[in-house]
Amino acid sequence: MRSLIDIAELSLQEIDSLIATANDIIDNPKKYADKCRGKKLATLFFEPSTRTRLSFEAAMYELGGNVLGFSEAQSSSAAKGESIADTAKTVSCYADIIAMRHPKEGAPLVASMNASIPVINAGDGGHNHPTQTLADLLTIKREKGSFDNLTVGLCGDLKFGRTVHSLINALRRYKNVKFVLISPTELRIPEYIRESLKKDNFEVVETTDLEAAMSDLDILYMTRVQRERFFNEEEYLRLKDSYILTTEKLANAKQDLSILHPLPRVNEISVAIDNDPRACYFKQVLNGKYMRMALILMLLGVE
Amino acid sequence: MTIDEIKNGIVIDHITAGLGMKIYSLLELDKLECSVALIKNTPSRKMGKKDIIKIDADIVLNTDILGYIDPDVTVNIIKNSKTVEKKRIALPEKLTNVITCKNPRCITTTEQELPQIFKLTDKENRIYRCLYCESKAK
């Protein structure tokens, strides 16, 4: 039995195989419509989410399976003080696979250590979000054809942005990937990631200037400054409008730039950019569903 | 300074001067019934000065704690007043309930019955990270 807590647990071959399955689902959806007939996915969301939860649910329904779960901690026994371990053991009696989101970092790992069914980390605090990364990887692969030799700009909240941390962890395994980290100084990448990239001799540029970095980028990964990660509202208000991508800022960008965003967007990408062919963030949403379908099949061992 | 020799027990030698008391309390040696001696700042040819702990009983030592606090110590096992074994302590790969995670967002802050587990992620710089949230041990 296998879970997915951190993107690094998947080998490059497994990621290739998930991408191949997702591409096959896109081309032949009917072939997959009954693959999970009789199986149940439990979505345990201790923190609000629209996209990820609905994406998991849509993925399971499109595989012919069923879904049960909750969408906030208040409607679960966590509100009564039940531990993650007990919740995981209980849900193992009802479902075949769990997708868990939790505001505390490491909660899905604790669940996987106690569940008797596979657990998928659907986001834990500011730590990891591996299925968003799978969506990002499929999008990059479909847009660029390869992961090698890319200059990847990550912009916004790099401190608490779990999607950023997971994406860096995934892309660092490919050849000649350069990272341009664009953020206000208060929201710089955590020291442990910087430390490990430097240790492995990656080319890393840290800057506060999005426009100056723009012309080098093959991928621009925008993120939202997340209100829920701040203990201090004033600090959030001060930083929330740090980076807003406008058509003017794209003036020097490459013609084949791909703009990604894990969404939800607040105001960090101007809606005028939505019609630019370089905007990939809604494709990314769709790709997320296909990769979650491929992952559910893999973890349930369905051929 | 003379401390009576021990018959059957353990001598933790080559403790970095100043760390003896920390090791003494983390190993909870105050709870032992037997004689325990903590010698501070004793002269050492190799180290200039060092701390030594002598325990007059054959107890099971938590070598993870020793390895984490001061991996260069030597543990001498004494039987019938003779040193029968000299053990070097390696940096432990994993620490369980030795230190606690300081990240307020870590699951261990709300689920306090969880064991506090840290893994050695960088041997060269002796960096440990929380198993759950990957925060660096402080």
Per the prediction, chain B carries an average pLDDT of 91
Rounded distance between C-alpha atoms, residue A62 and residue A162, angstroms: 27
What CATH architecture does domain B9-88 belong to?
2-Layer Sandwich (3.30)
Q: Say yes or no for a CB contact (<8 Å) between B107 and A84.
A: yes
**Host H or E run for residue A205:** strand A204-207
Single-letter code of the amino acid located at A72? E
Q: CATH number for the domain including A94? A: 3.40.50.1370
pLDDT by residue (tens digit) across B46-93?
899 999 999 999 888 888 889 999 988 999 999 998 999 999 888 999
Backbone angles phi, psi at A109, to 5 degrees: -65, -45
User: Which of A105, A114, A159 is the best mutation test for B, with the most CBs of B within 10 A?
Assistant: A105
pLDDT by residue (tens digit) across A102-151?
999 999 999 999 999 999 999 998 889 999 999 999 999 999 999 999 99
Q: Is residue A114 part of a domain?
A: yes
Residue A191 has pLDDT above 90, yes or no: no
Range(s) of the domain holding residue A259: 130-284
User: Which of A87, A112, A119, A127 is the best mutation test for B, with the most CBs of B within 10 A?
Assistant: A127
Domain with CATH 3.30.70.140 in chain B: 9-88
Residue A78 has pLDDT above 90, yes or no: no
Verify whether residue A141 is a known catalytic residue: no
Sign of CA dihedral A45, A83, A159, A200: negative
Q: Given this model, what pLDDT does residue A4 score?
A: 98
Residues A150 and A123 in one domain: no
Residues A72 and A158 in one domain: no
Q: Return all residues near B8 (Cβ < 8 A) that are at least 6 apart.
A: B56, B57, B58, B78, B79, B80
Tokens of B106: 């870590």
Residues A74 and A160 in one domain: no
Q: Is residue A239 part of a domain?
A: yes
Q: Is residue A1 part of a domain?
A: no
The number of folded domains in chain A is 2
Tokens of A19: 């991408």
How close B112 comes to chain A (CA, Å)? 10
Give the distance, in angstroms, between the CA of residue B12 and the centroid of all CA atoms in the same chain. Answer: 9
pTM score of the predicted model: 0.87
Residues A263 and A294 in one domain: no
Nearest to B107 among A105, A191, A192 (CB): A105
Q: Are A64 and A33 in contact (CB under 8 A)?
A: yes
Token pair 């699951």: residue: B107
